[in-house]
Amino acid sequence: MSVVIRPIEEKDIREHVEVLNSVIQEREYLMYGQGELTPQEISDFVKKTMQKGIMLVAEVDGRVVGWCDIRPGEQEKNRHVGIMGLGIHKEHRGRGIGSKLVEEALKRAKEKNLAKVELHVFATNAKAHALYKKLGLEEEGRQRRSVKIGNRLIDSILMGKFL
């Protein structure tokens, strides 16, 4: 299996929408619920991130199977901090793709002079939490029972890394 990590291109947006929606359907990893984002909203987000931040995709055999984005803060006082998002299609997890995406995204964030990267991870997502710790992100706080999936109330863990 050959994995290519590269910046997203407009031609990739349709496949990115498919992968994002597949992760949303699982309900366990992203804050979004099914149907909360239209393809146009996703496309607009990707294009904005392409201009102002970092938007990478993982490609396997010519197909987009995952992404990592880092968006700098919107305000003057927090533009030095990037907010990271990550997702991998379930059929491609456990193969090191997430590590490759995050490592490349962090490298590019440093090149863009971001001072810090932050993210939220659900406390129930042990694999992602371990991945982020392995790559040098540290827990900075916990929002207790701030996420509701079905009838379960789950903590959200804030993690960060100074670049």
For the chain, the domains span 3-115
Whether 40 and 132 have beta carbons less than 8 Å apart is answered as no
pTM: 0.93
Classified by CATH at the fold level, domain 3-115 comes out as Aminopeptidase (3.40.630)
**Does 135 score more than 90 pLDDT?**
yes
Looking from the CA of 84 toward its CB, the CA atoms found within 13 Å total 29
Residue 33, helix vs strand vs coil = coil
Residue 150, helix vs strand vs coil = coil
Percent of the chain past pLDDT 70, that is, above it, reads 100
Q: What pLDDT, in 10s, does the model give residues 141-151?
A: 999 999 999 99
